[in-house]
């Protein structure tokens, strides 16, 4: 056993990421004799499962994304830094982050990498210009602008073909996010917007869900997938199974069917929820280890104790870890954070021997997905059920995991009003929602920046542009 010794400084823990894993790890070290530095490229803790409700006007971004700094302000042993992690040096035990032109180097004794994942376009990153993903607040706000903007454009146009294109929505990917978003777009058109226009009829809109497999929500099994399918089809959603999107442009998408043939779908609003790719930080850490590898999605194949080979003080958790049987969901990140912080606390108490650590064991608490108002599907162990009871269970579970009493209370009130009426409280859109991505793409192109890999590069680009403009 490792014997406790008096160090020259308090044990330093660096956490990368403010998602479920990162925030949970920081909070679990509240009473530990450590100094924690949490580095994140966003200022908030995003409750990603409810992101689609921001995109469809039910919730505000503030209700699902409280400011990380405010969440942790009473925890005096935590320092929160905004920045893009540019380098992790496992030998020197330092993490280097950058915000605009300011660089920060933070030393660590223990490192928890919980940097999460980003949208994957399977090598076709140019699709993002026309088909935003569903991974960030920016994505959700842009989609809200695109969805509601499509109805506004349909009201103005005098061309029937263009009106039909504007009222056609394509959702790529039949996982939980795709199913939830397709259902909400259909409800938005048939309930909230019904009767609000004079030239176009929102109820005439088409919602098309494109899925590469032969069933919806494949991880939840054929029974629940079929139940979700029946509910969506009853709502008027068209489903294209065994189909892959091969091209996306301003006017629409091209779909290739596995049984043969291609289909061109003219549509104004496209949403991409077909896949995810782990943060590049996973590869950076794996390359410096003693032989740890990454899988096809860029996740680190970790040791049984969630560390990388040769570095028992470097933990990889959440969407960034590749562990058999552990899905890329919140519960995996939460359990990984608990396991890693317990080991760190054990080290401080002299109870931790890296060679004798009990392996991480994942407990599957089940999975859920909403399909529409009053309808969801759920899988808990061997039990599979759907309908109203599953929907109630979904509501309760998501309220429990929201951070902060105020957010839980306001979300509950908002849901109550939305579900018993036809109204939605977050229907305002701006031109910045829709065109900010295009503006950043142009700005980054002028300055040779890769926003897909480094979102905070947009801040640096804008800062540089303003500085040069002010000096002229």
Secondary structure (DSSP) of 289-328: SSS--B-TTS-EE--TTSEETTEEEEEE-GGGEE-TT--S
| Residue pLDDT, tens place only, 440-467 | 777 666 555 555 556 676 667 767 766 7
pLDDT class of 470 with cuts at 50, 70, 90: low
pLDDT at 352: 86
Torsion of CA 436, 440, 442, 448, to 10 degrees: -170
Q: Please indicate, yes or no, whether residues 105 and 194 belong to a single structural domain of this protein.
A: no
- CATH number of the domain within which 143 lies: 3.50.50.100
The proportion of the chain whose per-residue pLDDT surpasses 90, expressed as a percent, equals 83
Is residue 136 located within the same domain as residue 231? yes
- Based on the fold, state whether residues 248 and 136 are members of the same structural domain: yes
Average of per-residue pLDDT across 57-71? 96
Decide if 90 contacts 314 (C-beta within 8 A): yes
Query: Which residue, of 356, 381, 415, is where some domain finishes?
Result: 356
The CATH code of the domain that includes 308 is 3.50.50.60
Order of all β-strands in the sheet with 311-316: 78-82, 34-40, 11-16, 110-113, 311-316, 307-308
| pLDDT value at residue 451 | 53
Of the residues 274, 291, 321, which one is the last residue of a structural domain? 274
Question: CA-to-CA distance for 47 and 294, rounded, in angstroms?
Answer: 26
In a domain, 315, yes or no: yes
Q: Are residues 147 and 212 in the same domain?
A: yes
Q: Is 180 a catalytic residue?
A: yes
Task: Return the SS3 of 44.
Answer: strand
For 411-442, write each residue's pLDDT tens digit. Answer: 999 999 999 998 999 999 998 888 887 777 77
Put simply, whether the predicted model's pTM sits higher than 0.85 gets the answer yes
pLDDT number for residue 100: 86
Residues 204 and 338 grouped into a single domain: no
Assess contact for 184 and 52: CB atoms under 8 A: yes
Which stretch of 75-89, 116-130, 146-160 has the lowest confidence by average pLDDT? 116-130
Domain membership of residue 455 (yes or no) is: yes
Question: What residues have CB less than 8 Å from 427, skipping those under 6 apart?
Answer: 57, 148, 192
Catalytic residue among 63, 142, 164, 180: 180
Residues 287, 171 share a domain: no
The predicted structure's pLDDT at residue 427: 95
Same domain? For 18 and 114 the reply is yes
In a domain, 371, yes or no: no
Q: What pLDDT, in 10s, does the model give residues 250-308?
A: 999 999 999 889 999 999 999 999 989 999 999 999 999 999 999 999 999 999 999 99
Which residue, 289, 323, 356, sits at the end of a domain? 356
What are the helix and strand counts (H, E) for the chain? 14, 23
Residues 115 and 22 in one domain: yes
**pLDDT, tens digit (0-9, with 9 covering 90-100), for 140-185:** 999 999 999 999 999 999 999 999 999 999 999 999 999 999 999 9
Encode pLDDT of 23-46 as tens digits: 999 999 999 999 999 999 999 999
Q: Region 84-95: what's the mean pLDDT?
A: 97
Any domain includes 146: yes
71 domain residue, yes or no: no
Asked if the structure places residue 168 within a domain, the reply is yes
One domain, residues 199 and 236? yes
Identify whether 98 is part of a domain.
yes
Q: Give the mean model confidence (pLDDT) for residues 63-68.
A: 96
- Residues spanned by the domain of 138: 125-274
pLDDT band at 1 (very low <50, low <70, confident <90, very high): very low
CB contact at 8 A, 134 and 52? yes
**Quick one: average pLDDT of 73-91?**
97
Say if residues 267 and 286 touch (Cβ distance below 8 Å). no
Contact present, 374 and 388 (Cβ < 8 Å): yes
Q: Do 138 and 226 sit in the same domain of this protein? A: yes
* Residues 281, 326 within the same domain: yes
Domain count, the chain: 3
CB 57, CB 425: distance < 8 Å: yes
CA 280, 282, 288, 294 torsion: positive or negative? negative
By DSSP bridging, strand 262-266 and strand 243-248 are unpaired
My answer on whether 237 and 315 are in the same domain is no
For residue 256, being part of any structural domain is answered with yes
């Amino acid at each position: 056993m490792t014997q406790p010794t008096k160090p020259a400084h308090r044990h330093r823990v660096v956490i990368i990421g403010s998602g479920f894993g990162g925030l949970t790890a920081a909070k679990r070290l509240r009473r530990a004799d450590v100094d924690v530095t949490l580095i994140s490229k966003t200022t908030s803790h995003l409750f990603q499962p409810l992101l689609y409700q921001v995109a469809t006007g039910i919730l505000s971004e503030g209700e699902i994304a409280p400011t990380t700094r405010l969440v942790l302000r009473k925890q005096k042993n935590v320092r929160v830094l905004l920045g893009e992690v540019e380098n992790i040096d496992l030998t020197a035990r330092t993490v280097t982050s950058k915000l605009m032109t300011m660089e920060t180097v933070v030393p660590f004794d223990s490192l928890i990498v919980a940097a999460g994942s980003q949208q994957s376009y399977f090598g076709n990153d140019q699709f993002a210009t026309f088909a935003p993903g569903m991974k960030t607040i920016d994505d959700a706000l842009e989609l809200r602008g695109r969805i509601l903007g499509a109805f506004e454009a349909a009201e103005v146009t005098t061309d029937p073909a263009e009106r039909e294109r504007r009222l056609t929505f394509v959702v790529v990917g039949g996982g939980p996010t795709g199913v939830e978003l397709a259902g909400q777009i259909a409800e938005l058109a048939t309930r909230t917007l019904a009767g609000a226009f004079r030239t176009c009829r929102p109820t005439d809109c088409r919602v098309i869900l494109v899925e590469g497999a032969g069933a919806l929500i494949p991880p939840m099994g054929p029974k629940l997938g079929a139940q979700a399918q029946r509910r969506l089809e009853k709502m008027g959603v068209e489903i294209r199974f065994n189909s892959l999107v091969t091209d996306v442009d301003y006017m629409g998408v091209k779909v290739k069917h596995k049984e043969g043939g291609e289909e061109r779908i003219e549509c104004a609003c496209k949403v991409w929820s077909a896949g995810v790719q782990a943060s590049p930080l996973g590869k950076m850490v794996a390359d410096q280890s003693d032989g740890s590898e990454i899988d096809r999605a860029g996740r680190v194949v970790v040791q049984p104790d969630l560390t990388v080979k040769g570095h028992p003080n470097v933990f990889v958790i959440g969407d960034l870890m590749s562990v058999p049987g552990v899905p890329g969901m919140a519960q995996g990140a939460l359990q990984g954070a608990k396991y890693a912080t317990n080991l760190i606390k054990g080290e401080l108490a002299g109870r931790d021997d890296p060679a004798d650590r009990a392996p991480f064991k994942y407990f599957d608490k089940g999975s859920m997905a909403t399909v529409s108002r009053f309808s969801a599907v759920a899988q808990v162990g061997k039990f599979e059920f759907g309908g109203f009871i599953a929907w109630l269970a979904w509501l309760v579970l998501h309220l429990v995991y929201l951070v902060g009493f105020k957010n839980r209370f306001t979300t509950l009130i908002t849901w109550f009003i939305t579900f018993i009426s036809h109204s939605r409280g977050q229907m305002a859109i701006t031109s910045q929602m829709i065109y900010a991505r295009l503006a950043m793409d142009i700005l980054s192109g002028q300055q040779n920046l890769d926003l897909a890999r480094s979102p905070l590069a947009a801040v640096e680009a804008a800062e540089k542009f303003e500085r040069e403009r002010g000096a002229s």
